[in-house]
Amino acid sequence: MDPFEMVVAIIIVVTIGKVLQARFQASERRSEDPTESIDALRMRDEIRTLKERIAVLERVITDNNRSIELDREIERLRDNNRV
């Protein structure tokens, strides 16, 4: 084996090693990301739901006329369900 072939062989071995290392690191990142993204999506959905509920509560509390109407509507619905 002459020196040129040896240099080419070393370059090929190093290149294959780097490619395998990059694939291994990428597969590790992929296995970690989905669990984090699922948790992040679940938390975002929960935060969005809580913000909607807070907005409804703020509307009910701050709007006296609307809360009186809401009380009447709730009582009317209760009366309808009893019949």
Q: Which residues of 54-74 are buried (b: 16+ CB within 10 A; e: fewer)?
A: eeeeeeeeeeeeeeeeeeeee
- Cα(40)–Cα(32) distance, rounded to whole angstroms? 13
pLDDT at residue 14 in the model: 92
Low-confidence ranges of the chain (pLDDT < 50): none
pLDDT at residue 24 in the model: 86
Which residues, 6+ apart, have CB-to-CB distance to 59 below 8 Å? Answer: 66
pLDDT at residue 36 in the model: 63
pLDDT at residue 62 in the model: 75
Which residues, 6+ apart, have CB-to-CB distance to 70 below 8 Å? Answer: 60
- What's the pTM? 0.38
pLDDT at residue 38 in the model: 82
